């Protein structure tokens, strides 16, 4: 029985050492502002996805440059302790840069020609 318990603990700890990280790049130059949700509620091992993150209030007109999802050590620990029923994850949205990209548009709305 002790060997089974030791095996379960070792498997749980080794799963916690894994890194789950995904990045989506939109092509927009990243800026300094971020919208973060460190405990996005996910269920059934991630089969039930978390709610959408509303980045519009934080990013405004600058748009979204990067979207990252990852499972931290604490997220994995909680998932293990709940046997995967509750599987939180971290979602980070990096806003676009407010700086000019070098392209200029005439203020009068004409195409410049």
User: Domain-by-domain residue ranges, the chain?
Assistant: 2-96
Which pLDDT score, from 0 to 100, does residue 98 have? 72
Cα(14)–Cα(6) distance, integer angstroms: 12
Which pLDDT score, from 0 to 100, does residue 57 have? 87
Q: Name the band, by pLDDT with cuts 50, 70 and 90, for residue 13.
A: low
Q: What is the rounded average pLDDT of the residues 29-47? A: 89
Give 45-101 pLDDT, tens digit per residue: 888 888 888 888 888 888 899 999 998 889 889 998 999 899 999 999 999 887 644
Which pLDDT score, from 0 to 100, does residue 102 have? 46
């Amino acid at each position: 029985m002790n060997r089974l318990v030791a095996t379960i603990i070792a498997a749980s700890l080794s799963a916690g050492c894994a890194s789950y990280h995904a990045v989506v790049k939109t092509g927009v130059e990243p800026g300094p502002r971020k919208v973060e949700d460190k405990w996005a509620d996910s269920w059934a091992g991630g089969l039930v996805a978390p709610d959408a993150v509303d980045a519009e209030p934080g990013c405004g007109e600058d748009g979204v440059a990067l979207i990252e999802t990852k499972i931290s050590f604490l997220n994995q620990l909680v998932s293990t302790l709940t046997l995967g029923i509750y599987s939180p994850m971290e979602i980070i949205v990096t806003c676009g840069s407010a700086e000019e990209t070098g392209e200029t548009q005439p203020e009068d709305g004409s195409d410049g020609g």
